[in-house]
């Protein structure tokens, strides 16, 4: 073995060892700081993890862009839900959603069930933000609702809580967000749009509005919030119905 190739071998060995231990330490740190998404396994796990980790490092506290009144879309598009709303929903709608309930459970210190009237009596936040669908279309609207962070405070959260799982009256739709989004001041349980009651096609009576993520994370007809430290027990353990249908859990891009 010549000098040069031995030197090369040693250098390469050191580089590989450093790289491998660097990766292992990196993975540990990423796990600890919540940079690994629940759908990090599989063929596209690497890209998904890079995207989520990079955006979390850059955007933990950043605010979604806000628009002026004149920029509110005159022709917003509701996007019909699938499957169509059923009889149970229609009965609730017939009485003005007086019996609509939002249950907050899981790792809450004081689990609670709120009526729609109670939700509407909570302090509100109003924002003019863009809602953008993964398909490519979008509109700007003014959204008003109770900040999710206010509701979480009310039921008592703890540092152990890492995700909020939220469900729709439509059992096919359930989602979850990390605490960076759940405690974000722009994340709302919205009940008004453009100065009026939130119309049913746009998610009324209650829609979870998370303006730093795409439309499919902004689930309509919210009935239940669950605070949890792990997404493993929910569904197939991938975090939401989106990855079970082949879509990314994180939708900041």
Partner 1 sequence: MNATLPMANRDVGRASSPAAATLPAATKRTRHSAMVRVTHWLTTLAFLALLVSGGEIVLSHPRFYWGETGNVNMRPWLNLHLPSSRATVPTGYGYVLPDQNGWSRYLHFQAAWLAVATGLLYVLWGVFHGHFRRNVFPAPSDLSVKELGASMLKHLRFERPSKEEAWSYNVLQRISYLVVIFVLFPLMIWTGLAMSLGFTSAFPLAVRLLGGQQTARSLHFLATILLVLFLVVHVVMVFVAGFRSRMRAMITGRADSPTE
Give 97's contacts (C-beta < 8 A, 6+ positions apart).
116, 204, 205
Supply the minimum distance, in Å, between the C-beta of residue 215 and partner 1: 10
Q: What are the phi and psi torsion angles at 216 (to 5°)?
A: -70, -15
Q: Which is nearer to partner 1, 176 or 213 (CB)?
A: 213
The nearest distance, CB 220 to partner 1, in angstroms, is 15
Q: Which is nearer to partner 1, 17 or 253 (CB)?
A: 253
- The CA distance from 227 to 224, in Å, is 10
Residue 131 Cβ vs partner 1, minimum distance, rounded to whole Å: 9
Comparing C-alpha atoms, which of 112, 115, 125, 105 is closest to residue 183? 125
DSSP conformation class of 70: G
In the bound complex, what is the minimum distance in angstroms from residue 156's beta carbon to partner 1? 28
Residue ranges binding partner 1 (CB under 8 A): 43-44, 46-48, 50-51, 55, 58-59, 62-65, 67, 71, 73, 75-77, 79-80, 130, 132-140, 211-214, 245-248, 252-253
- Please list, residue by residue across 101-140, b when 16 or more beta carbons sit within 10 angstroms of its beta carbon and e when fewer do: ebebebbbeeeeebebeebbebebbebbbebbeeeeeebb
For residue 17, the minimal CB distance to partner 1 (Å) is: 22
Q: Between 92 and 188, name the residue whose CB sits nearer to partner 1.
A: 188
CA distance 32 to 221: 33
Q: Which of 97, 227, 218, 216 is nearest to 149 (CA)?
A: 227
Q: Which of 153, 154, 128 is nearest to 141 (CA)?
A: 128
CB of 31 to partner 1, least distance (A): 20
Choice between 111 and 252, CB closer to partner 1 = 252
Closest to partner 1 by CB, 156 vs 215, is 215
To partner 1, the closest distance from the beta carbon of 225 in angstroms equals 22
Residue 23 CB contacts under 8 Å (≥ 6 apart), including other chains? none
* Identity of the residue, 33 or 77, whose beta carbon is nearer to partner 1 in the bound complex: 77
> In the complex with partner 1, which residue's Cβ is closer, 17 or 50?
50
């Amino acid at each position: 073995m010549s000098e040069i190739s031995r030197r090369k071998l040693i250098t390469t060995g050191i580089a590989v060892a450093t790289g491998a231990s660097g990766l292992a330490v990196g993975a540990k740190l990423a796990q600890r700081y919540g940079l690994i998404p629940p759908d990090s396994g599989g063929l596209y796990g690497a890209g998904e993890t890079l995207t989520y980790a990079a955006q979390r490092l850059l955007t933990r506290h950043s605010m979604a862009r806000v628009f002026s009144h004149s920029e509110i879309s005159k022709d917003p598009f509701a996007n019909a839900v699938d499957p169509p709303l059923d009889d149970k929903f229609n009965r609730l709608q017939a009485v003005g959603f007086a019996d609509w309930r939002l249950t907050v459970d899981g790792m809450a210190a004081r689990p609670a069930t709120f009526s729609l009237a109670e939700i509407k009596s909570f302090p509100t936040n109003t924002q003019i933000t863009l809602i953008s669908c993964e398909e490519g279309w979008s509109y700007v609207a003014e959204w008003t609702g109770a900040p999710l962070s206010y509701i979480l405070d009310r039921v008592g959260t703890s540092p152990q809580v890492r995700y909020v799982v939220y469900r729709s009256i439509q059992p096919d739709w359930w989602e979850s967000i990390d605490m960076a989004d759940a405690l974000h001041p722009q994340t709302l349980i919205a009940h008004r749009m453009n100065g009026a009651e939130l119309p049913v096609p746009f998610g009324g009576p209650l829609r979870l509005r998370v303006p730093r993520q795409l439309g499919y994370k902004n689930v309509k007809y919210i009935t239940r919030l669950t605070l949890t430290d792990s997404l493993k027990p929910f569904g197939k353990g991938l975090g939401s119905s989106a990855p079970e249908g082949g879509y990314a859990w994180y939708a900041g891009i």
